[in-house]
Amino acid sequence: MINLPKINNWAVIMKVASPYHPPEMGVPALSGDVENHPRLGNRKNQITSQIKWLDPINWTCTTENTIYELGEVSEQFVEHIKDKFNMNLLEYLEPLIKKVP
């Protein structure tokens, strides 16, 4: 298997073009601690480019620029989606999951 960059302590966020735009105008991205990135190396608190899709079988995420291996999810993120949306992680991620015909 290819050695993909890994993102730990990750959460899905809405990435906006500027701080003056509301979150509803954002695009989904990952926020987390990146390891083994070809350009960034190992860095904490990084935000990816826009998510294209998630693959729950291989537990990877394809963004506009990179394919990431998804490591440990942020416990705070899991609690947030449970409390705010009354959903589990896979239910929340459903709109981002790659559909295979």
| pLDDT block averages, 10 residues each, the chain of length 101 | 88 90 88 93 94 92 94 97 95 84 46
Question: Strand pairing partners for 73?
Answer: 10
Taking the C-alpha atoms of residue 8 and residue 51, their distance in angstroms, rounded to an integer, is 16
Q: How long, in residues, is the chain?
A: 101
Which pTM was predicted? 0.87
Give yes or no for a contact between 97 and 53, defined as CB atoms under 8 angstroms apart.
yes
- Short-list 92, 94, 68, CA closest to 79: 92
* pLDDT for 29: 95
